[in-house]
């Protein structure tokens, strides 16, 4: 069979769709002085697991959404102020209020997110960031602060100014979404719009100043399960090669108002199996020891990867409450379940079509009108 579509054709169709999905996402009015969410997760300092507080600020939203429609699996947009920036004082109040909900004396790591890039001045001004860092310096005993950002906003001068505020006893970590080692997959399956080379340059510009945390996505639209598995293993290896001090594996979940959610409901996408996640980890541990992102991240997903009703809970418990603590091979053992045969069959399925063809075929099958788009 002859396939005619180019990467440009597929990308144009994908971005058109992503913009339509964003423009039909319901608008909610949020108070500007309350953060979007916070929770306690596992963090690491020199490989040792510690308590980590994650605070997501209420913010204007990721600039990449305005430019390109944003990433196919990302549902942050619905929880943003749609381009309106809280003042510095409002940002500081958000942070203080959320921190006050916790006894933060035994919290060693604080991750501060904004549903976008903390280092993009148009999302969080430097004055707000500086004030938040001064507050951390004066009022917490956290040893490490983590900021998420797209690679293009990472600027060593800004990083140095933040380090000056934190002082010599605290570390700063910058978290970047690598997602995959493969530029075409990152572009067409995620619409992420940056390259591995750009991420490598950003990492190189601040290596030695800060710790680097890279995110790798397991499972994405338009990929078969076997491809997703192989892609994740290579991406974890790539993250290590890029010099990541910490690697997070983020299994695809379904967030509301995303292309991934629509494709799932149309039967055009399956979430990765928990067995695929175990398999990816078993392939790389202990040489690489990725942290498994918990399935209750923000925005709260509606549906998460599973095994079958018999084994799902056990598998998730094994990942989050055992593997994530020690990150060793023994904690990746599991009792075989009757559903394992289904997973193996799923791994055998292939798709011969090139990615641009898959994308056009899939998007043409969806009646977006059913989703108010
Ligand atoms: S995944 Fe990150 S870069 Fe992509 S749209 Fe969401 S916040 Fe922006
Ligand atoms: Zn099962």
Ligand nearest 21 Cα, by number?
Answer: 1
- Supply the pLDDT for residue 301: 87
Question: How far apart are alpha carbons 281 and 319 in whole angstroms?
Answer: 10
- Strand (E) or helix (H) holding 155: none
Which atom of ligand 1 has the smallest separation from the CA of 150? 3
Instruction: With beta carbons less than 8 A apart as the criterion, state whether 22 and 81 touch.
Output: no
**Which ligand is nearest to the Cα of residue 334, counting in written order?**
2
3-state DSSP helix/strand/coil % of the chain, to nearest 5: 45, 15, 40
Whole-number Å distance between alpha carbons of 213 and 230: 21
Number of alpha carbons in the 13 Å side-chain half-sphere of residue 366: 26
- 290 upstream amide cis, omega within 30 of 0: no
Q: How far apart are CA 156 and CA 104, in angstroms?
A: 29
CA of 276 to the centre of ligand 2 (A): 13
Q: Which residue has the tokens 């040792």?
A: 48
Taking the CA of residue 61 as reference, the ligand 1 atom at the shortest distance is 7
Mutate which of 79, 114, 116 for ligand 1 pocket (most atoms within 8 A of beta carbon): 116
145 beta partners: 110, 172
Task: Read off the tokens for 45.
Answer: 């300092």
Ligand 1 mutation pick, 25, 36, 56, 65, max ligand atoms within 8 A of CB: 65
Residue 26: per-residue pLDDT: 94
| Ligand with minimal distance to 151 CA | 1
Residues 6 or more apart in contact with residue 361 via CB below 8 angstroms: 353
Q: Determine the distance separating the centroid of ligand 2 and the alpha carbon of 342, expressed in angstroms.
A: 9
pLDDT tens-place values along the chain, 373 residues long: 788 999 999 999 999 999 999 999 999 999 999 999 999 999 999 989 999 999 999 999 999 999 999 999 999 999 999 999 999 999 999 999 999 999 988 999 999 999 999 999 999 999 999 999 999 999 999 999 999 999 999 999 999 999 999 999 999 999 999 999 999 999 999 999 999 999 999 999 999 999 999 999 999 999 999 999 999 999 999 999 999 999 999 999 999 999 999 999 999 999 999 999 999 999 999 999 999 998 876 678 889 999 999 999 999 999 999 999 999 999 999 999 999 999 999 999 999 999 999 999 999 999 999 999 9
pLDDT at residue number 139: 95
- CA pair distance 181, 192, nearest whole angstrom: 12
Does residue 148 sit in helix, strand or coil? strand
* Ligand 1 touching residue 74 (CB < 6 A): yes
Contacts by 334-337 with C-beta closer than 8 Å and gap 24+? Answer: 334/278, 335/311, 337/307, 337/308, 337/310, 337/311
Give the number of whichever ligand sits closest to the CA of residue 312: 2
User: Ligand 1 pocket, 194 CB below 6 A?
Assistant: no
Between the CA of 74 and the centroid of ligand 1 the distance, in Å, is 6
Cα separation of the two ends of the chain: 32
Query: Which 3 state secondary structure label does DSSP give 195?
Result: coil
pLDDT of residue 37: 95
Q: Is the CB of 259 under 6 A from ligand 1?
A: no
To the nearest 10°, report the CA torsion of 133, 134, 135, 136: 50
Give me the count of residues in the chain. Answer: 373
Ligand 1: does its nearest atom lie under 6 Å from the Cβ of 281?
no
Return the pLDDT at 47: 86
For ligand 2, the distance from its centroid to the CA atom of residue 331, given in whole angstroms, is 18
Class of domain 26-371: alpha beta
Structure tokens at 204: 């190189």
Cβ–ligand 1 contact at 150 (below 6 Å): yes
Protein residue with least CA distance to atom 6, ligand 1: 74
CB of 70 shorter than 6 A to ligand 1: yes
- Judge if the beta carbon of residue 301 lies within 6 A of ligand 1: no
What is the distance between the alpha carbons of residues 156 and 153, in angstroms, rounded to a whole number? Answer: 10
From the CA of 150, the nearest ligand is 1
């Amino acid at each position: 069979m002859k396939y005619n579509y180019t990467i440009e054709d597929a990308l144009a169709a994908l971005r058109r769709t992503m913009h339509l999905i964003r423009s039909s996402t319901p608008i909610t009015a949020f108070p500007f002085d309350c953060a979007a969410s916070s929770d306690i997760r596992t963090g690491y300092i020199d490989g040792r697991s510690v308590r980590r507080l994650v605070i997501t600020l209420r913010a204007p939203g990721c600039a990449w959404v305005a430019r390109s429609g944003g990433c196919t699996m990302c549902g942050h947009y619905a929880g943003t102020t749609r381009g309106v920036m809280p003042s510095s004082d409002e940002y500081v109040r958000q942070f203080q209020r959320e921190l006050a909900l916790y006894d933060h004396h035994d919290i060693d790591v604080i991750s501060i997110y904004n549903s976008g890039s903390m280092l993009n001045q148009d999302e969080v001004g430097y004055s707000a960031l500086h004030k938040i860092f001064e507050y951390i310096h004066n009022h917490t005993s956290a040893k490490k602060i983590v900021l998420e950002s797209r690679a293009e906003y990472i600027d060593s001068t800004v990083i140095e100014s933040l380090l000056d505020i934190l002082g010599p006893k605290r570390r700063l970590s910058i978290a970047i979404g690598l997602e995959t080692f493969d530029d075409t997959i990152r572009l067409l399956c995620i619409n992420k719009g940056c390259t591995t080379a750009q991420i490598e340059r950003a990492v190189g510009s601040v290596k030695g100043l800060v710790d680097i945390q890279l995110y790798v996505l397991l499972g994405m639209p338009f990929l078969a399960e076997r491809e997703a598995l192989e892609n994740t293993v290579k991406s974890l290896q790539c993250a290590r090669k890029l010099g990541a001090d910490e690697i997070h594996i983020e299994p695809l979940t379904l967030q509301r108002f995303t292309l991934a959610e629509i494709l799932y409901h149309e039967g055009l996408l399956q979430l990765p199996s928990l067995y695929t996640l175990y398999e990816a980890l078993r392939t790389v541990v202990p040489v690489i020891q990725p942290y498994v992102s918990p399935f209750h991240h923000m925005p709260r997903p509606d549906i998460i990867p599973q095994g079958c009703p018999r084994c799902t809970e056990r598998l998730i418990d094994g990942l989050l409450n055992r593997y994530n603590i020690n990150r060793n091979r023994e904690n990746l053992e599991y009792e075989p379940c009757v559903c394992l045969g289904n997973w193996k069959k799923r791994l055998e399925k292939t798709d011969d079509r090139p990615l641009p063809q898959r994308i056009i075929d899939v998007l043409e099958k969806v009646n977006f009108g059913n989703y108010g788009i």
